[in-house]
Amino acid sequence: MDGTGRRAVRRSDALTKARIVAAAIEVLDADKSGDGSALTLRALMTQLTTGSGAIYHHVATMDELRGLAADEVLRSPFDSANEADPNDALLAATLAIFDSIQAHPWVGGQLTRSAIQPAVVRIWKTIALQLERLGIHGQAGATAGSTLTSFVLGSVANNGSGPSRFANAEERMARLESMSEEWAKRESDPLVQDIATQLREHDDRQQFLDGVRIILRGVAASKE
């Protein structure tokens, strides 16, 4: 209060890096497109009612901000992997990652933009920790961890812009139908038809879980 009644509408809470990240997540979550395209500097300026320079004073680049936002989303749920059986713990940990991204689809696309962002390191750590508990360390652990991480990133990359994530089941169906029709026109190969059919019928989450199980079985088999 400066007594003039004319003071600019200054937000009560000061601008911090954490607040900017939170605002970025809000903007990204509010966008139904699922890719990260909604997060623009100007959208962020509106959300925070501030200028570009203020944001750049706390954050070096928009890419850094995207990385921080993705990491923040993946921060919470990984402690929950307290299963007694380390095998179940690994499944629980990867499923927690999957579900977090399902809830924030834009994270999927963000993770494959760069391997050296904090969120990817976090996933690496989570998986490596559980592998350790499974008694898989050293070179074998690195190979298993790399395989699992690549699988997770690849699984999750297109959850935002891919066939999943539609408002209702009908819209999803319609999209898949048109997709397989499009393929059918271009490709006479019956194999493609099979793929389209499988895509139409599969359950993303179940498929993901099956994939993790396959890899774990392969890791165990390689150990002998």
Partner DNA sequence: ACCTGAACACCGTTCAAGT
**CA 122 to CA 136: how far, in whole Å?**
19
151 sits near a second copy (criterion: CB under 8 A): yes
CA distance 134 to 155: 23
Burial annotation 132-163 (CB, 10 A radius, 16+ → b, else e)? eebebeeeebeebbeebbebbbebbbbbbbbb
**Among 49-57, 143-151, 170-178, 179-187, which window interacts with DNA (CB under 7 A)?**
49-57
Rounded to 5°, the CA angle 22-27-30 comes to 120
- Considering the complex, state which of residue 47 and residue 147 has its C-beta at the smaller distance from a second copy: 147
Residue 163 binds which entry of DNA, a second copy, none, with Cβ cut-offs from 5 to 8 Å by kind?
a second copy
Is residue 32 within the footprint of DNA (CB under 7 A)? no
Q: Check residue 54 for interaction with DNA (CB under 7 A).
A: yes
Count CA atoms closer than 13 A to 45's CA, side-chain side: 10
Stretch that binds DNA, among 37-45, 77-85, 116-124, 159-167 (CB under 7 A): 37-45
Interaction mask 15-54, a second copy, x per CB under 8 A: ----------------------------------------
SS3 90: helix
Where in 56-85 is the site for DNA (CB under 7 A)?
56-58, 61-63
Q: Does 202 engage in binding with a second copy (CB under 8 A)?
A: yes
Under 8 Å between Cβ of 148 and 126: no
Enumerate binding residues for DNA (CB under 7 A): 8, 10, 14-15, 39-43, 49-54, 56-58, 61-63
